[in-house]
């Protein structure tokens, strides 16, 4: 009888731990909306990126209901018109640069941005994009 109780407690603890880990990461809320066109990348890749991995810039939706088409369009405009860490905000959007994240824009409840994704042999590798 006692072993059944311990097994039930262990199973419940495992479910709670898995749920807490998933919600703490926040990664599940980030929606990838497509690759952005940029001139190139400089510098070495971050730790954890295997040799031969290729970087690309991805439009990301962190919060809200804005479509991926709008997310990609807004972030492409930001990339095309910004200079260094000084983004030019498209009409209606308020954009900033956040170190370790990239360009980040807000409009009402919608929060979007961009992040570098590394791929190797068609699979994403290395660090995941972070929400601001």
The answer to whether residue 40 is domain-embedded is yes
Domain count, the chain: 1
* Residue-range definition of the domain harbouring residue 35: 27-125
d(CA 75, CA 89): 9
Distance between CA atoms of 39 and 27, rounded to whole angstroms?
27
Residue 78 inside a domain? The answer is yes
- pLDDT reported for residue 13: 29
Answer yes or no: is 19 within a domain: no
**10 within some domain:** no
The span from the CA of 100 to the CA of 78, in Å, is: 17
How far is the CA of 58 from the CAs of 2, 48, 71, 73, in angstroms? 52, 19, 10, 12
Between CA 65 and CA 36 the distance in angstroms is: 20
pLDDT averaged per 10 residues in sequence order, the chain, 132 residues:
32 30 51 91 86 94 97 96 91 93 95 94 90 86
Burial 111-122 (b: 16+ CB within 10 A, else e): bbbbbbbbeeee
> How much is the pLDDT for 100?
82
- Alpha carbons 30 and 58: distance in angstroms, whole number: 11
Q: What would the two tokens of residue 18 be?
A: 């898995």
**64: which DSSP letter?**
S
Does residue 9 sit within a domain?
Answer: no
pTM of the model as a whole: 0.74
83: left (phi over 0), alpha (psi -120 to 50) or beta: beta
């Amino acid at each position: 009888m006692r072993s059944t109780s311990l097994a039930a407690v262990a199973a419940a603890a495992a479910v709670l731990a898995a749920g807490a880990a998933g919600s703490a990461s926040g990664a599940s809320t980030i929606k990838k909306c497509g690759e952005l066109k940029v001139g190139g990348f400089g510098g070495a890749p971050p730790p954890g990126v295997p040799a031969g991995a290729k970087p690309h810039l991805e439009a990301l939706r962190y919060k809200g209901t804005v479509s991926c088409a709008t997310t990609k369009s807004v972030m492409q405009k930001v990339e095309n018109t910004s200079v260094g860490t000084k983004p030019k905000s498209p009409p209606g959007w308020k954009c900033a640069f956040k170190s370790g994240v990239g360009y980040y824009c807000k409009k009402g409840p919608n929060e979007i941005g961009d992040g570098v994704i590394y791929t190797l042999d068609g699979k994403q590798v290395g660090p995941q994009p972070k929400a601001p």
